[in-house]
């Protein structure tokens, strides 16, 4: 199975963690991105993620391969949700196993930073005032 995946149904972080299991790994660091009820001072009611699947899968896989080459890790996995999400839902999961924790922390952080910066996935926030908006990587609204 690919290391980077898109999911249209809820992500099962525990099952993903089991995929990382290894007798030679001493550390596993995971990051979960949750749908937060506020952004830049506005109350958020729900989110929708839209992806360009072919390119998102290719770019996600590239990020995980680069990460495996750069850090002393055993394995890195990432799953990103698409579609409609509610407050508290798991939007993205990253897990990294390694012999030691230095590499596991650094690689996990690297993966989520690169995913946010490079993978063609877009977040549409729906606000309490009835408006919605597509966001930039820094959380600010797209001008258009």
User: Residues in the site for another protein, rule: CB under 8 A?
Assistant: 33, 49-52, 54-56, 58-59, 80, 91-92, 112, 115-124, 134-137, 139, 142-144
In angstroms, the CA 59 to CA 130 distance is: 33
CB 7 within 8 A of CB 49: no
| Partner from a copy of itself, another protein, none binding residue 79, C-beta < 5-8 Å depending on class | none
| Partner from a copy of itself, another protein, none binding residue 32, C-beta < 5-8 Å depending on class | a copy of itself
Which residues partner with 34 through β-bridges?
90
Does the protein bind a copy of itself through residue 122 (CB under 8 A)?
Answer: no
CB of 28 to a copy of itself, least distance (A): 4
Residues 50-89 contacting a copy of itself, CB under 8 A = 87-88
Q: What is the largest CA-CA distance in the chain?
A: 52
| Partner from a copy of itself, another protein, none binding residue 30, C-beta < 5-8 Å depending on class | a copy of itself
In angstroms, the CA 46 to CA 98 distance is: 35
Sign of the torsion angle spanned by Cα atoms 96, 107, 121, 1:
negative
């Amino acid at each position: 199975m690919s290391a980077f995946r898109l999911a249209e149904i809820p992500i099962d972080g525990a099952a993903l963690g089991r995929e990382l299991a290894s007798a030679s790994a001493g550390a596993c660091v995971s990051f979960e991105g949750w749908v937060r009820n506020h952004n830049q001072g506005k109350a958020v009611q729900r989110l929708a993620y839209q992806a360009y699947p072919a390119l998102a899968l290719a770019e996600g896989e590239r990020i995980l391969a680069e990460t495996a080459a750069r850090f002393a890790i055993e394995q890195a996995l990432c799953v990103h949700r698409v579609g409609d999400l509610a407050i508290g839902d798991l939007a993205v999961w990253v897990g990294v196993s390694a012999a030691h924790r230095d590499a596991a922390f650094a690689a996990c952080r690297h993966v989520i930073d690169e995913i946010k910066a490079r993978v063609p996935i877009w977040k549409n926030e729906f606000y309490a005032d009835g408006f919605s908006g597509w966001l930039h990587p820094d959380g600010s609204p797209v001008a258009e």
